[in-house]
Structure 1
Amino acid sequence: MADDNVRVDVDQAAVDEVVRSVDMRDLLLDVADPIVGRAQLGAPKASGEGAASIRSEPVLDGPDWTVRISWDRAHFYMYFHDRGTERLPARPFLEPALDGAL
């Protein structure tokens, strides 16, 4: 018969250290690579420069690493293609790339 009295002690300092580690950052960037590729494939391409500018960037957000996937500043107009405007219908490619739908 199993003992119902189980105690789990979490070493929060060790967890925080792992979350902030370079290894965690690199793992998140590895996970982001296929998403970046799908976003580049799904992005509209007149010249292809905007799609080529899509990349991942690690960001230390407080105590945690996150990865931002976006285009560079020179290609800000990609936002309007992805989200749409009053005159330009949205052609989403970032969220579908995350979902693996492209």
Structure 2
Amino acid sequence: MPALKPRTVLLSLVAMASLNAMAYAGVERAELDLIIQQIRAINQIAQRADQSSNSTARYRFDYPKFRHDLQRIEAGLQDYLSPRRAQPVDPTELIGDYAAEPARESPP
């Protein structure tokens, strides 16, 4: 059996690593697509919950802020899956505080 040249071995290893990376990228894309679908479902649930929430309660969940953050997360995932540049960069932070107090009526 002839000895393999180091260059042949190296090229074979690189080719196998590339195939493995491409397979992983396909799995990652499928997982991120699933996350996007779940975010959309959560957004719809939050919209329904917002419509049926008690707006006069002392403390209530701030659904508009929450839904805005969900939309930003989805947009970030979409940017990652379809990049316009090398890496998506989003310097703004999520709101994160979803407790809201009802608006107080101003005195006449």
TM-score by length of 1: 0.35
* Structure number with higher helix proportion: 2
Greater fraction strand: 1
Larger Rg: 2
